[in-house]
Amino acid sequence: MSLYIFIIFALLVLVFLVGHYGLPEKVDRTAFRGPIPPHKIMKGAEPFFWQGQTDSAFLLIHGFEDSPFTLRDLGQLLHAEGHTVIAPLLPGHGTSIADFKHTRYEHWYDCVQLLYEEYRPKYKKFFIVGFSMGGNLGLRLAIHYAHRMAVTGLILISAPIVLNGFLNGRFILRDWRLFFTGIVKELIDYLPKKKTNLASEFISPWIGYSEAYTIAPLHSLKLNLPRIKPYLKYIHSPICLIQASNDKTVSPENLHYILRKVSSREKRAFLFEIRENISTRHVLVTHQETRTRVFFYILRFIEDVLRDELALESLVQRKSYWQKLFSRGKTHEF
């Protein structure tokens, strides 16, 4: 009897492990490079690039199954301040779920990394603004370039490190189906979503894949999100985290974990409750109740970081001046 129990237990563990991790998959990271044909892009999901007049640029990264539409209003606000704004459409997004099912986390990260490599050297100040999955991609960029071409500031909105799992000593369970994506992706491509109501669409407008979850990309996202956890300590750039305390998609434990683990001297976190119970309370930058407040927090953080950067530059220049003056004095004396 005990042998049977052991076998059943072992099988359950095996099913769980395979369900969670899935079978090994080789990802061709060179695929999906290059611009997406404009005729394939959903109306409203277009990427945008707006050149500014200041020496500051912002890379805006949208979320999973999302599009640059979510960050367009914020981008317009930053451009109105004179800054350059870069908002890509990540591979597989904003076209069709048939395209999306072939993409993986590595493709989305490589897209933003190539843009960072291209544009970071052109600007003295460079910020990353990431919404949801885009925040996780932004953290990964900040870790990778922590000691070379470091980001000036990080702004993360509803950013996840884990969806399900342990964080801050607590067990987070947002959707039990995520534990079995490794098996499910071998059986089906899509899992239908619940239909959103008109009230939710009005309160929190969004353009993306609303008809279904695409299992293989979702599995890739789930596995890759937590891989940055051991490396958050390498981030020293100023960071601003914003989230709703009753977010239905990403647990606010993620905000607390990131805040605790990064090594930034300048850390800010804005956590507030949303009163309505219609939307997911996740898409804060388009949410009618919160967007103005979120924009205010972001602009204030940017202003403070730029002011500190200017003060530091002034201090360095003054120090260099006095060093040169002192050096000339000593040379003359001898």
The sign of the CA dihedral 168, 184, 61, 247 is negative
pLDDT 10s digits, 61-101: 999 999 999 999 999 999 999 999 999 999 999 999 999 99
Q: Are 127 and 152 in contact (CB under 8 A)?
A: yes
- Secondary structure (3-state) at 248: coil
CA dist 110 and 112 (Å) reads 6
Predicted structure pTM score = 0.90
Q: State the angle between helix axes of 133-144 and 105-119 in degrees (0 to 180), rounded to the nearest 10.
A: 50
CA dist 280 and 246 (Å) reads 9
**Which residues, including other chains, have CB under 8 Å from residue 141's CB and lie 6 or more apart?**
109, 112, 113, 116, 128, 151
Concatenated DSSP letters for 141-203?
A: HHHHTTTSS--SEEEEES--S-SSEEETTEEE-S-GGGGGHHHHHHH-SEEEPPPPPHHHHHH
- The superfamily (CATH) of domain 2-328 is Alpha/Beta hydrolase fold, catalytic domain (3.40.50.1820)
Phi then psi for residue 63, to 5 deg, are -100, -170
Q: Does position 198 have pLDDT exceeding 90, yes or no?
A: no
CA dist 150 and 231 (Å) reads 15
Look over the chain and give the mean of its residue pLDDT values, rounded to a whole number.
Answer: 90
DSSP single-letter state for residue 244: E
pLDDT 10s digits, 228-275: 999 999 999 999 999 999 999 999 999 999 999 999 999 999 999 999
pLDDT 10s digits, 142-171: 999 999 999 999 999 999 999 998 899 888
Six-digit token pair at 261?
A: 């683990």
**Residue (of 197, 208, 255) closest to 70 by Cα position:** 208
**Plot region of 281 (φ>0 → left; ψ -120 to 50 → alpha; else → beta):** left
Compute the average pLDDT of residues 274-297.
93
User: Strand locations in the chain, DSSP E?
Assistant: 48-50, 56-61, 84-87, 125-131, 153-157, 165-167, 170-172, 190-192, 212-214, 239-244, 267-272
